[in-house]
Homo-oligomer: A and B are copies of this chain.
């Protein structure tokens, strides 16, 4: 029977489904790893985390420190993009066990001669694998212990240089390793960015025709000024004519109706082609480049479905579902049928060819400079398909980011994240009351979800104009923007939000005169807009490491359900923001909020200054309970940093 330690390593974090899927991290970030580590008996142990990037040859080690109750923690530096591995290792600390014992015996006045000899014997085994300078130093320590009196022993064994030297030489008796866990490191934008969604055809200037890529280019300074990082375009492909939908989705279109951009494909082309009214491939490349020069990035919406006029229908009829009479099956959700869309058939003998073609769509756009894809309804295609496709695309373009638009059940959303999507839409639009917001964001900001799930918060989308925005006016738009911008590092708006557009179809959460079915022209600087407010939010985000990190959100008590109070604390810098929001856009509210003093680093009852990053105003707070008064529109929130 070999000498093998009784050490147990459990509950390693971050881990997704026990390590079967990668956790996610951001290039340039620090990843905290924790594990429950213990052994039988009372001997001491030590532990470390071994990590490496797939391109590295050697493991890199960082110590784990005990936090109490057998929980240990350490940090991994995520310096590059790509795939990291890590494992937790622990071994018997025979030196530490011996040192603790002999110091206690000595302090209790016991005779320690025998322990002294035993310690010297143990330390001599460390010499075996120790060379050079370290060996000399260790030998000196051993000699000094050998000859030490009970009182001088204490000096030798509490000297931090000596302790460090011994640990550098320590044999790893009975080293136990956890399984290897995976981490997917993506570039910063995958976990921290602000998005602006627009319909390119609606960017035309007053008096001229429908918008083109050139018009989108003209809007870049405007979007940049608001502080956004990503311009996300609704689909830009040719739109089908057969069964085209008209105004507000009516089943029969007028001749002049432009159709929904999601009814993709016509005789002019399919998913790799551009609607000629928007411009050419060259125009598109120019837009991508112009955005890049301005520090912005173009994201595309990829919707895997076909209009009845899509070239695939003729070229690959085998990729569609057929009814017994040979007709192609429309997209359906009984008792509804979508006559302008055919779903693709991700099963059967032609699956492989379809998979390859779908991959080629993503690669085509990646070749044209697009590195961010917002994927429409990924949950209606197989998980296996996405896992394969995302892996394939990342092999060639490791900087590709995939956002899942899966408005479906939580388990399905979380699965898409596990299998490779960088980020995901959330239920944010349907979380309005304090308990709803707290429950939901606590769930997705906590283990196990925070290890992989990156929430993207849109207060509106072309499909969703929630009741609070319909009725709460400008104040509601500001309030929901604050929540979206500070509850997650990923947020975005669908254009028109900055103008507080809020006309809905009665009794529904859909826009009236939906932009999905018609071309708009807007005055982007119309009175009452909240452009400036949005730009302040985005500036605050870029200046705060706390707002850039995921999984660092914690809610705290207030005595008024209309006011929520939460903190975000940076793992990297320790910066902590305290945020109080009046979630009722109709009324001024006041509350006592409870500051988590220890967490924010205020340890006594002296007054402290807090600065509101929204306004620059400073306040003097004291102790745990502090008063806030928040006025819709005017001062809907405090985003507080401690200090002036």
Chain A 377-388 per-residue mask, 1 if CB under 8 angstroms from chain B, else 0: 001111110000
CB 8 Å contact bits of A32-74 with B (1 = contact, 0 = none)? 0000101111100000000000000000000000000110000
Whether the pair A8, B383 counts as a contact (CB closer than 8 A) is: yes
Is A160 interfacial (CB 8 A cutoff)? Answer: no
Stretch in A97-105, A546-554, A578-586 touching the partner:
A97-105
A333-388 contacts to B, CB under 8 A, are 333-335, 337, 347-349, 351-352, 379-384
Is A396 positioned at the interface, with any CB of B under 8 Å from its CB?
Answer: no
Is the pair A334, B1 in contact by a Cβ cutoff of 8 Å? Answer: no
Assess whether A255 is interfacial by the CB under 8 Å rule. no
A412 at the interface (CB under 8 A from B): yes
Contacting A335 at CB < 8 Å: which of B36, B41, B105, B114?
Answer: B105
Complex contact A10–B17 (CB within 8 A): yes
A603 within 8 A of B: no
Q: Is A606 an interface residue (CB 8 A)?
A: no
Determine whether A168 belongs to the interface, using a CB cutoff of 8 Å to chain B: no
Q: Mark A112-152, 1 if CB is under 8 A from B, else 0.
A: 00110110010000000000000000000000000000000
Chain B residues, CB < 8 A from A410: 69-70
Residue of B nearest to A4 (CB): B384
Tell me whether A335 and B110 are in contact (CB under 8 A).
yes
Residue numbers in B under 8 Å from A415 (CB-CB): 8, 38
Complex formed: what's the CA distance from A169 to B352 in Å? 31
Cβ of A409 within 8 Å of any chain B Cβ, yes or no, is yes
Q: Does A323 contact B (CB under 8 A)?
A: yes
A333: contacting residue among B42, B70, B325, B379, CB under 8 A: B42
Give complex CA distance A108, B3 in Å. Answer: 73
Residues of B within 8 A of A349 (CB): 1
* A382 & B40 in contact (Cβ 8 Å cutoff): yes
Contact of A118 among B323, B334, B351 (CB under 8 A): B323
A411 interfacial by beta-carbon distance below 8 Å: yes
Cα of A379 to Cα of B334 in the assembled complex, Å = 60
- Residue among B104, B332, B380 making CB contact with A334, cutoff 8 Å: B104
A10 to B18, CA, bound (A): 11
CA of A101 to CA of B115, assembled, Å: 79
Which B residues lie within 8 Å of A100 (CB)?
Answer: 334
- The prevalent SS among residues of A at the interface is mixed
A6 near B: Cβ within 8 Å? Answer: yes
A401-421 vs B, CB cutoff 8 Å, 1 = contact: the mask equals 000000001111001000000
* Residues from chain B with Cβ under 8 Å of A121 in the complex: 324
Partner pick for A18 among B18, B117, B337, CB 8 A cutoff = B18
Across the two chains, which residue of chain B brings its CB closest to A114? B323
Distance of A410 from chain B, by nearest CB (Å): 7
Chain B residues contacting A8 (CB-CB under 8 Å) are 383, 411, 415
In the bound complex, what is the Cα–Cα distance between A104 and B336 (angstroms)? Answer: 9
Instruction: Report the separation of the CA atoms of residues A354 and B501 in the bound assembly, to the nearest whole angstrom.
Output: 80
A505 at the interface (CB under 8 A from B): no
Q: Per-position contact with B for A317-333: 1 when CB-CB < 8 Å, else 0?
A: 00000011101000011
In the complex, whether A597 has a CB less than 8 A from a CB of chain B is no
Q: Which residues of B contact A105 (CB under 8 A)?
A: 334-335
Q: How far is the CB of A190 from chain B (nearest CB, A)?
A: 23
Q: How far is the CB of A184 from chain B (nearest CB, A)?
A: 19
Task: Tell me whether A107 is interfacial, beta carbon within 8 Å.
Answer: yes
CB-CB under 8 A from A379, the residues of chain B are 40-41
> Given the complex, which residues of B lie within 8 Å of A69, measured CB to CB?
409-411
Which B residues are CB-close (under 8 A) to A327? Answer: 114
CB–CB B324/A114 < 8 A: yes
Question: Are B352 and A409 in touch, CB under 8 angstroms?
Answer: no
Assembled-state Cα–Cα distance A40/B412 (Å): 7
Residue pair B334, A117 in contact (C-beta under 8 Å): no
B3-A347 in contact (CB<8A): yes
- Per the bound structure, the CA–CA distance linking A36 and B110 in Å amounts to 59
A103: nearest residue on chain B (CB-CB)?
Answer: B334
Interface string of A522-551 (1 = CB under 8 A from B): 000000000000000000000000000000
Which B residues lie within 8 Å of A3 (CB)?
347-348
Using Cβ atoms and an 8 Å threshold, which residues of chain B touch A384?
4, 6
A-B pairs with beta carbons under 8 Å apart, 13 shown: A1-B351, A6-B384, A8-B383, A8-B411, A10-B411, A40-B380, A40-B382, A40-B383, A41-B382, A70-B410, A104-B334, A105-B334, A105-B335
**Given A70-B411, A110-B335: 10 more A-B contacts, CB < 8 Å:** A3-B347, A8-B383, A10-B411, A18-B18, A40-B379, A69-B409, A70-B410, A107-B335, A114-B324, A115-B323
Q: Which 7 A-B pairs have the closest CB atoms?
A: A108-B335, A104-B334, A117-B324, A114-B323, A6-B382, A104-B335, A101-B334
